[in-house]
Structure formats: C-alpha cells, structure tokens
Amino acid sequence: MMNDVLLEIKNLRTYFKLHEGILKAIDGVSLAIGRNRVLGIVGESGCGKSVTARSILKLVPAPGKIEGEIWFHGGEKPVNLAALPPTGNAIRDIRGREIAMIFQEPMAAFSPVHTIGDQISEAIQTHQSLPKPEARGRTIEMLKQVGIPIPERRVDNYPHQMSGGMLQRAMIAMALSLRPKLLIADEPTTALDVTIQAQILRLMKRLQAELGMSIIFITHDLGVIANMADDVAVMYLGRVVEYGTVRQIFENPQHPYTQALMQSIPKLGSKGRGRLASIEGTVPVPLDPPRRCGFADRCVHFIPGRCDADVPPLIDTEAGHQVRCILYE
C-alpha cells in the first residue's frame, strides 16, 4: 500500500533517565507516513503521542534520549533524523522548512511580547534570505490564506489581542509559510471550543489538499480522527497497539484497547440509557516497565501467563492492518 513513504519511524525509543528510574515514554514505535496522507495518532494522555511527535523534530526536553531510526525521505537523500544532533544545523534546516509543527495551546505557543507578524516573518527569514518587507508581505498573504480577516492589520497584533481560534490560524499560517512536506499537528484543536474546532479542521483539510503535504495528526478525540485521518495508529503506553486505515480501525477495531475506546464514544440517538462505557483504571506510568503487554491490567481478555509473559508482537491481521495482541496469533 505504501510505496511512497515520506517519513519512516523504525523502533523508536525515547527514554527519560530520572532519579526514580528510566521512564520509557516511547518503547519501540514503528510507523510510516505516506506522501500526501494524514496519519492520525490516538491515545489517552500519557501514551506517548506527543513525545513521538517531538522526537521526530528532536524537540524532546532534557533528559530525554532518542534511540532508533527516523528516516525522512523529503530531501534528495534520506536522512535519519534520530541520529542528528538536536542543536545542529542539519536538524535546524529541516525544522520549519521540511517539517513544521503546530501545538495544542495557541495562546502559549506565541511569545507574548512579539507581534504575530514578527514571529511568522522570522520563520520565513530563518530559512530564506528575504528582505523584511517581502517577508512581511508573505506573512500577510499566509494570514489571508488561513482566513484571518484584515490580515494587514492583524499582522501587527500581539497574541493577547487575538482569540484562541485566530491564534491557531496564525500558528497554521506560520507552520505552512515555508510549504513544509510534513506538518505535525499536536492536538491542534483540543484547547478550542467546538465550533472553532470544526473551522480549524476544515481549514487544515483544505490546505492539505491545496499544498499537497502529509500531516501527522495527534489527538485523543476519535471523532476528529474519523474526520481527518487516512491512516490511524492507536498508541498505548509508549507503543503502537493497532495500525490500519481509518476504515479498518473504525469498522473492525481488533485490539481490546481500541475496542474499548470505540465503545466509549457517545452515540447520538442511541437508545441505551445506561452509563457511557469507560475503560477501568488509568494509563500506568512507564517507569522501568516490565516486559509485558502494557494494557494487560485493564484488559477484559487478560490471559494470565500469556499477556504478562512478554510484549506481544505486531501481528498482520489483514492487508495494512496490524495489531499488537496475542488474541490474533
């Protein structure tokens, strides 16, 4: 299915060495993102979605250590991002220009004491030698493209003068100002209210089609995934537990965790009067985790001696559909 791969993550492990032990935020993630496709990564808080996203651009805070391979096929030659030094020129050339990122809190993501225009122009000028007036012109054009009214005025606004939705649009404008091949969106709509959410999602879809880029869309909202993604990776405790096309995941969820997630979606017009299904327990903290299925403690199909014996392998159940669960062996 995926012969035109843009980014390939192989056995990614991001560990944080803490006083209390080794926190394995990501423990062996392998993923591939095709050109022009949208990959959705879903999971509860603490499952490693955001760390995966940040690992790609080497933005993991200290004392995080990244191991494994992240191959980017956007340039002339494939580059292994995981092997690049995090403050070196090589990764800095890719950040913003080839791979851009947008964040969850648009209010916090802009510096409060610089204008929006200044911060967007800076992104442009970091990668292109463009005189100031031209960069400003491009900025205004980008703001217009993301649907900000009166961009000539807005360009000189400070973040506190704009609403959350406007700021997220500005953030998208900044991320797309250099036409990146890959956009990483880390919960871009979580902090916004629902109507604004829908607007932002529509905008992202439109721009993805227009500009022809790939998107990694990280969220805990399955509705958003169904709306946005072509492919879906479900993450749990630092690992991908199920991967497939959006159709496969929603119509035939196979991992007990994915199934439980699907059952926890409230359905409009359903007759049931009972409580909304929820998953018992919480995601444990992966501090020196034992080698076992991470979901075993919360799983209704738990098999003693099997699930807690080793980490289950990823098993192909149909073309392009993989599950990390021994039930499918």
Binding site for another protein (CB under 8 A): 54, 57, 59, 61, 87, 92-97, 100-101, 103, 105, 108-114, 119, 122-123, 126-127, 158, 160, 171, 174
Find the shortest distance in angstroms from Cβ 188 to another protein: 13
Nearer to another protein, 10 or 127 (CB): 127
Nearer to another protein, 41 or 249 (CB): 41
Find the shortest distance in angstroms from Cβ 96 to another protein: 4
Nearer to another protein, 87 or 278 (CB): 87
Nearer to another protein, 120 or 260 (CB): 120
Contact 140, 170 (CB under 8 A): no
Nearer to another protein, 87 or 270 (CB): 87
Nearer to another protein, 107 or 196 (CB): 107
Find the shortest distance in angstroms from Cβ 118 to another protein: 10
Find the shortest distance in angstroms from Cβ 179 to another protein: 14
Find the shortest distance in angstroms from Cβ 31 to another protein: 20
Find the shortest distance in angstroms from Cβ 231 to another protein: 23
- Which residues does residue 231 pair with via DSSP β-bridges, in sequence order? 39, 245
Query: What is the spatial distance between Cα 257 and Cα 229, in angstroms, rounded to a whole number?
Result: 19
